[in-house]
Structure 1
């Protein structure tokens, strides 16, 4: 902000400094005796006068400090305004003489005092106005608009007392983040709430890992206080897991390495007791959780002692096609009858993650016991390594061949079979992409593909920080190929920008091709925390008795 009452002292140095757009012009006191020897120019008040008979003005020396940001305007016909340094050296031309009113701006450098000179038609009248001067010390970015009524109140309180102890005591008692509906600016629709994440401390930067924007957003600092914040307008049905990362390292690395550096300091919210998992090892383990009032209840996650339990067994399978060995977990529900034509089959990628973080076996137990789905065995396919995951899952024909020619025949030796109509191939992220790709490639095995937040943005050669020049490869393949006898279940979170948009595009492709599918969007983001709450919904859609 600038002080509109500030003034700049303007001296008309006649015959002492020679500065003009026309280098041959020499200004003398006698050439324009009507101009005063000195003048004080108030911001916003014009200096009105005329050029001399040669079309030049006396030099106008500006008293200003290095770094000052100056803005102004000159009125008159065909006037050229120039800026010079203390030695009379030309710095820059500020106006070109086009139009009656011309605006200009510049930052004062180290060659001051600076001077103006004006040239134009002989005896042309001019009006020079300095509209603002902002000293370097006052050049600060404006605070973002405070949507939160509590933070607006705090902002006013800090004008009287810089201490934030009372505020943080209040947050410590009530918990964080702030969830507000009334008094939000601009007002919220009834379906939304304002969630404001808060961090206390004096840091270089603080980022929000798991922000509803789908990115790792930087928090704002409230003035010079120790309050860092970021507000989001989200549906009242949202459930959000998040972490804070103060002072994220900045270094010379690849975009992916620098993005992942947030994990070095990411930690849970010390003002929020709700977390996942419920028994973290330390403050850096797990995530903090905020559940809004209308978040769906997780009815299929918890089970009672009376719920019949299936059996999970661990195996290892070596692939000749891929040249590696991986863990395979087989789930057989209670009372499983091999060979029953009504049996279902579920093949899930990132199998260890689904068992550990989604608790998929328990969800299957609950759904089967409630007869919400048919009795179904499951094959949980793990990755040999993180590196192999990023190679095998994104639309890899060799991996598809491994599933069709090695995994499924091996499963038959374990007496796990099902008809294509009762078979589902499923996964999340890259696994969701793989499920759609392999299901489309092998409808003779899988009649259903379940894609949780599928990475449909992918194209050959791309990765999360290096998008392809022509993204969404799989959608184009499905659009160009004959329709296959397979149905899809697509889901994405409203906080997953790229995945949400590419999933919607695939939905439109499936519609145009005449496929049978279901498509769901949730007030959620990307990760197993979210997928565990929606996993049962897709199974119910695809494995109904």
Structure 2
């Protein structure tokens, strides 16, 4: 049964030749057409261009507002297809704000065919993945997100990448969970964060291992990256521990980023432990501020690695990192074990989390800000924290507070204690693509406030 999170295989796309991983491809400079005054003008020009060359999306600067962008998405509607919805972090709510309108016209081959199209005004530095959801004819879409989600997870339609957009974000196939790759299209504004490391060779060494845990009662994969220069460094390399390790090590190209930053002198040599989860269910439970998970990291993971690789024991030269619930766990480790983790890099974190929530709702913000309250009571004042949140992460939780606003509350609470916190918003959603582009920014932020060299 298809769903918005199921793997999507595009037969015309070979992941091995993904342009985002091709060093000859420079996605940081998206083509932008001449400025226009309004969304209607952007749509008209985009429809004409789509009829000529089938390009989607078509981007225009907003006249008089160079930091804003009109992005028009288009696709030809085949016989037997229903309506097209936009599935992306830059759209919230039910069907109406997502629906592409039908327009009569011709496809690039000159055949008469209706076109689904819609224009959104967005920041010029937007970076976001998206998919089209194409429903069955006559399918009625609900107007609330809660009612819409069961439809999107039903059998009467399916997600697909934008055929007019060659810029793709491809999730690598996990050999332990084989299946077609998950392929998403990329909206990359002209001012989006550059990713100069894409296509760069890995200069260090990445190896895969398995580690059994007595604390957690399971076994998991751990990838260990020893950066360039680590073997010959006079000082023990800095240590980085990253949760959701397989995602960071392979999808987000973090080893290549670290190697590039070491090679340019932005970071000292490093050993990075990419700690994965045993299963989806265990991930949601163990990353939610659990004592047994913190004990696993401190008593098992780090000591296991220390018997095999040389790295620092200095908390000030150690970073714990993650995104979403992984970022929550990073904040938890920095709070719970400041003697081992002096720095936290936390991307798009549900800082409104409270442990009384059910495990499968741990990412929904509440009004309590439990970890901030704990930190206020007895947390380390000497921690260095980098956190970020997408400006599109504004959907309201049952308490009426967005994840973005909960982040602002968390940042204010820690800053009031004297904790060094750098908060950086980005123009995107809850999205691995955005986190890939901003991870190096987090490392630079910590390095600017902490001597990581020893």
| TM-score bracket for the superposition, by shorter chain length | 0.7 to 0.9
CA distance in 2, matches of 1:348, 1:466: 18
Larger radius of gyration: 1
Matched, 1:229 2:99: no
The answer to whether the Cα contact below 8 Å between 1:338 and 1:416 also exists between their aligned partners in 2 is no
Q: CA deviation at 1:204?
A: 4.4
Greater Cα offset, 218-227 or 321-330: 218-227
Aligned-partner Cα distance in 1 for 2:365–2:391: 23
Q: How far does the alpha carbon of each residue in 1:199-254 deviate from its partner, in whole angstroms, 9 at most, with x for none? A: 332754432122413567521424789443343221212222211111188899x9
Q: How does 1:314-463 map to 2 (within 5 A)?
A: 314-337=208-231, 341-418=235-312, 419-460=314-355, 461-462=357-358, 463=360
1:207 is paired with a residue whose SS is strand
Deviations 1:258-282, CA, capped at 9 Å, x for gaps: 2761797111011222222399999
* Deviation digits for residues 100-134 of structure 1 (CA, Å, limit 9, x no counterpart): xxxxxxxxxxxxxxxxxxxxxxxxxxxxxxxxxxx
Secondary structure of 2:215 counterpart: coil
Equivalence for 1:191: 67
SS in 2 for 1:266: strand
Measured in 2, the distance between the counterparts of 1:539 and 1:266 equals 34
Which residue does the alignment assign to 2:424?
Answer: 520
Q: With a CA cutoff of 8 Å and minimum separation of 6, indicate the structure with the bigger relative contact order.
A: 2
Residue pair 1:196, 1:230 contacting (<8 A) in 2 also: yes
CA distance in 2 between partners of 1:275 and 1:467 (Å): 29
**Which residue number in structure 2 is paired with residue 258 of structure 1?**
150
Structure 2 residue 101 is matched with structure 1 residue 209: no
Aligned partner of 2:412 in structure 1 is: 508
Q: Deviations over 1:408-456 (max 9, x none)?
A: 2212111343110100000011101110111111000001000011122
Cα distance change on mapping 1:323 and 1:207 into 2, 3 Å: same
Partner of 1:242: 130
1:48-63 aligned at under 5 Å gives the runs none
Task: From the superposition, tell whether residues 227 and 464 of structure 1 become closer, same or farther in structure 2 (CA, over 3 Å).
Answer: farther
- 1: CA distance, partners of 2:163 / 2:67: 28
Task: List gaps (5 residues or longer) in structure 2.
Answer: 1-37, 106-113, 395-401
Contact map agreement 1:339 1:417 (CA 8 A) in 2? no
SS at 2:414's partner residue?
A: helix
Q: CA, structure 1 residues 398+172, in 2 after alignment: closer, same or farther (shift >3 Å)?
A: farther
TM-score by length of 1: 0.63
Distance 1:437 1:298, change over 3 A: same
| Corresponding position of 1:73 | none
Long gaps (5+) in structure 1:
1-145, 155-166
Matched, 1:540 2:428: no
Q: Do the aligned partners of 1:267 and 1:285 also contact (CA within 8 Å) in 2?
A: no
Q: Report how far residue 302 of structure 1 moved.
A: 3.6
Do 1:483 and 1:514's aligned partners in 2 also have CA atoms closer than 8 Å?
Answer: no
Q: 2-side partners of 1:218 and 1:283: how far apart? A: 26
SS of the equivalent of 1:509 reads helix
How far apart, CA to CA, are the structure 1 residues paired with 2:325 and 2:171? 27
